Amino acid sequence: MGVAAVARYVSLIRLCFVFFTLPFLPAVAQTPERAPDTMAARVLACASCHGAQGEGTSDVYFPRLAGKPAGYLYNQLVAFRDGRRKYPPMNYLLEFLPDDYLKKMADYFASLRPPFPEPAIPTVSDAILARGESIVKHGDTQRGIPPCASCHGPSFGGMEPAIPGLLGLRASYISAQLGGWRYGTRTAAAPDCMQIVASLLTEDDVKAVAAYLSSRPAPADPSFAPQGSLPMPLACGSEPR
């Protein structure tokens, strides 16, 4: 066999090799699979407590995140990271995450609209429920308690950029948060309006408000009010007017 023939023979072998291996190449390239380049994959750490879509889980103490205003979610992430809002599992998870990333997480959950859970069947009396409805809608002028609706909206969807919606949350979570404000484990930027409101409420008020809010059906329009569209009787550090 001459040199040229050998060369031709070799290239033939090469050609076969290329043809036979080509179909397998993509499979080989896939072997070290990469994590999906999505926010959903990045925030999977949140899913075991808050649901894959931020819709909440069966655990009554873990809140729904989806569809809350991004500014509100961002403020909470920063407060947890910096220890101003105290809950060790959250403080620990967020400790070394930069602002930009927390902002992206907040934007992500604010953009999601998973279905609301079935409203809770109240376990309290009608009288307590009525008391809750009265505080939520009208406040208690004698005791200086403003209605929830004055800041959180008449349909409780919240207001941009930083006032959260109050629906889709369970009674245990709502009363734990109001308690957290009263005892100082949850704080927000000064003036901390919710600290003032929560400290005006009695244990029974908290129970009634939590029972009423958690029994509300999903809102027809699950979106928040535009900035500045609600009266806001109290100054609030998180929501500049």
Partner 1 sequence: MQRLSTKLILLLALCFAGMTPATAQQNPPANAELLKKGEYLARAGDCIACHTAREGKTFAGGLPMKTPFGTLYTSNITPDPQTGIGTWTSDQFYRMMHDGRFPDGGLVYPAMPFGSYTKVTREDSDAIYAYLRSVPPVKQVNKPHELTFPFNNRSLIIGWRTLFFNEGEFKPDPTKSAEWNRGAYLVEGLGHCGMCHTAINALGGSSESQAFEGGLIPMQYWYAPSLTSNKEAGLGEWSIQEIVDYLRTGVSARGAVYGPMAEVVYNSLQYLNDEDIRAMAVYLKGLAQGTSPDKPPPALPTAESSLLLSLGKQIYDRDCASCHGATGLGMPPHYPPLAANQSIQMASAVNAIRMVLNGGYPPGTAGNPMPYGMPPFAQRLSDDEVAAVVTYIRTSWGNRGAPVSARQANELRTATLK
Q: Would you tell me which residues interact with partner 1 (CB under 8 A)? A: 32-35, 41-49, 59, 82-84, 88-89, 91-98, 100-101, 104
Please state the closest distance from residue 30 (CB atom) to partner 1, in A: 11
Nearer to partner 1, 60 or 234 (CB): 60
Nearer to partner 1, 99 or 203 (CB): 99
Give the span between the Cα atoms of 158 and 149, in whole angstroms. 9
Q: Which residues contact 204 (CB under 8 A, 6 or more apart)?
A: 128, 131
Nearer to partner 1, 35 or 220 (CB): 35
Nearer to partner 1, 87 or 227 (CB): 87
Please state the closest distance from residue 147 (CB atom) to partner 1, in A: 32
Helix (H) or strand (E) holding 188: none
Contact 156/119 with Cβ under 8 angstroms? no
Nearer to partner 1, 90 or 232 (CB): 90
Take residue 69 and report the two structure tokens written for it: 């205003």
Three-state secondary structure readout of 123-165: CCCHHHHHHHHHHHHHCEHHHCECCCHHHHCCCCCCECCCECC
Please state the closest distance from residue 195 (CB atom) to partner 1, in A: 17
Distances (CA, A) of 108 to 39, 74, 128, 166, 197: 7, 10, 37, 19, 30
Please state the closest distance from residue 64 (CB atom) to partner 1, in A: 16
Nearer to partner 1, 33 or 126 (CB): 33
Please state the closest distance from residue 105 (CB atom) to partner 1, in A: 9
Distances (CA, A) of 200 to 22, 104, 130, 135, 151: 72, 35, 19, 12, 16
Please state the closest distance from residue 193 (CB atom) to partner 1, in A: 20
Nearer to partner 1, 97 or 128 (CB): 97
Choose among 157, 116, 136: nearest CA to 205: 136
Please state the closest distance from residue 189 (CB atom) to partner 1, in A: 11
Take residue 187 and report the two structure tokens written for it: 């704080």
